[in-house]
A and B are shown apart, each in its own frame.
Chain A
Amino acid sequence: MNRITLTVNGVRHFVDVEDETLLLDVLRDTAGTTSVREGCGVGACGACTVLAGGTSVSSCLALAVRYDGAELTTAEGLDENDDVVSSFVDCNAAQCGYCIPGFLLMSRELLSENPHPTGQEITDHLEGNICRCGTYPEIHRAVAAAAERRAIR
């Protein structure tokens, strides 16, 4: 058993975890951030995406002990007025919505690295996330719209 500290959306959690405990389970069961979801268990769908220090991670493949001391952001941690969140909402970029928190965080990561992505760059960055409802056109538009909003500010 290992005692680790995780800062999730600004709140510090002190958690006892086994070696094999996955970050996904800590986020859901201890931090209560249930926007982080298991969809495939093999890092292929992106529903379990979390930002660790701003970098996207598949929490279903990540050992929690390795994130001791990390600053984690989940979709719950983003403000409703955040440019990316509001662009997703305005572009109607959610149907069932189950996968959308993952897309949201990938989009955040992209725009923080590349404030003016091309359409191809948006596609490249979202390639590893699956939306089975087929909301890709709206999501794509939302990321472009968020970039524009940020540029205006």
Chain B
Amino acid sequence: MPFLHRPTTLAEAVDLLSILDNAMVYGGGTAIQILVKQGILHADNFVDLALVPGLRDIEAGPQGVRVGPMVSLRRMETDERVRATVPLAAAAYHHVANPRVRNTASVGGNIAHGDYRLDPPTALLVLGATVEATSVRGTREIPVREFFTGFQQTALEPDELVSAIRIPAQPAGSGHRFEKNSSLGENDWPCASAAVLVTGHEVHIGLGAVAPTPRHVTFDARGLDDQQAVDAALEAAEPALDPIPDVRGGVAYKRALARVTIEDAVRAAWKEHRNG
């Protein structure tokens, strides 16, 4: 395993990232440990954020929540303020893997992994979240909608770390739904997932596992009834569907499942919005 650095301040952490060769941020460590064991991760240095104070904070206000990178996924599903302010995000975090993984995996590591199948990015895309990226050069803000640049690639520079994620509060009266479908065991990775937010005038859809990156689409929902909204959603999502065939399904099946997932999620969110 690479050398483990354990900085105790954020400044020290970004310094390390700027000077070390082949350094990688060690957050929750769940994904990294798996890759280490598979013998294919060849980082020379890990920069462990566990001892940096303040990175486990959740700040909540009427505008939204600001979440430190070392906050566990589990807290995102259980924290009352998160559940009240951004329930769609709480729902998506709840669906990741299993409770033990969610206890360990971190919000920052999860998004930095950039994997196309992860659940939380779908909700973060829909809610218009922002990633705070910090390096020795300072802190910049990256809209999540610009964060996923390629297959397991993100907008982060090698010397940057995720120092926070800010999620704007869900609008009052909006309807939301997170839907996830696996294609093999019930507890398998998703084969298609969709987070949907319906507000007074538009619908946002975040898609997981149906393309090489998490995808976001939106459309104007004014004047539509529920069936029209579903049709509009499927039409809007169509160009975003670009599934990778694998043991969990071929392209045709994954597209079909994505459409079912979108339809179910839009219907449920639409209904909640109407009833809400």
The residues of A with any CB-CB pair to B shorter than 8 Å are 19-20, 22, 41-43, 46, 49, 55-58, 60-63, 65-66, 106, 109, 113, 124-125, 127-129
Q: B3 contacts which chain A residues (CB < 8 A)?
A: 19
Q: B74 contacts which chain A residues (CB < 8 A)?
A: 55
- Among the stretches B8-16, B95-103, B211-219, B223-231, the one at the interface with A is B95-103
Question: Could you tell me if B4 and A58 are in contact, using CB atoms closer than 8 angstroms?
Answer: no
Q: B34 contacts which chain A residues (CB < 8 A)?
A: 42-43, 61
Closest to A124 in B: B99
How many B residues touch the partner, as a band?
Answer: 20 to 34
- Measured CB to CB, the closest approach of chain A to B219, in angstroms, equals 33
Question: Could you tell me if A61 and B97 are in contact, using CB atoms closer than 8 angstroms?
Answer: no
Question: Could you tell me if B100 and A63 are in contact, using CB atoms closer than 8 angstroms?
Answer: no
Other A-B pairs, 4, CB within 8 Å; known A57-B104, A65-B6:
A20-B4, A61-B34, A124-B99, A128-B187
Contact of B1 among A19, A56, A58, A109 (CB under 8 A): A19
**Known A61-B33, A66-B48, A66-B50: A43·B101 in contact at CB below 8 Å:** yes
Whether, in the assembled complex, B137 has its beta carbon less than 8 Å from a beta carbon of chain A, the answer is: no
**Known A20-B1, A65-B4: A49·B37 in contact at CB below 8 Å:** no
Once A and B bind, how many residue pairs between them come within 8 Å at the CB atom?
Answer: 67
A-B contact pairs, 14 of them (CB 8 A): A19-B3, A43-B30, A61-B29, A61-B33, A61-B34, A62-B104, A63-B4, A65-B6, A106-B100, A109-B99, A127-B99, A127-B186, A127-B187, A128-B99
Contact of A19 among B4, B37, B98, B101 (CB under 8 A): B4
- Measured CB to CB, the closest approach of chain B to A119, in angstroms, equals 15
Question: Could you tell me if A58 and B37 are in contact, using CB atoms closer than 8 angstroms?
Answer: no
- Measured CB to CB, the closest approach of chain B to A138, in angstroms, equals 19
Q: B98 contacts which chain A residues (CB < 8 A)?
A: 46, 127-129
Question: Could you tell me if A63 and B29 are in contact, using CB atoms closer than 8 angstroms?
Answer: yes
Q: A124 contacts which chain B residues (CB < 8 A)?
A: 99
Closest 4 pairs between A and B when the two form their complex, measured CB to CB: A128-B98, A20-B1, A19-B4, A61-B33
Contact of B99 among A20, A42, A56 (CB under 8 A): A56
A56 and B37 alpha carbons, distance in the complex (Å):
21
Q: B187 contacts which chain A residues (CB < 8 A)?
A: 127-128
Question: Could you tell me if B4 and A61 are in contact, using CB atoms closer than 8 angstroms?
Answer: no
Q: B37 contacts which chain A residues (CB < 8 A)?
A: 41-42
A66 and B4 alpha carbons, distance in the complex (Å):
11
- Measured CB to CB, the closest approach of chain A to B187, in angstroms, equals 5
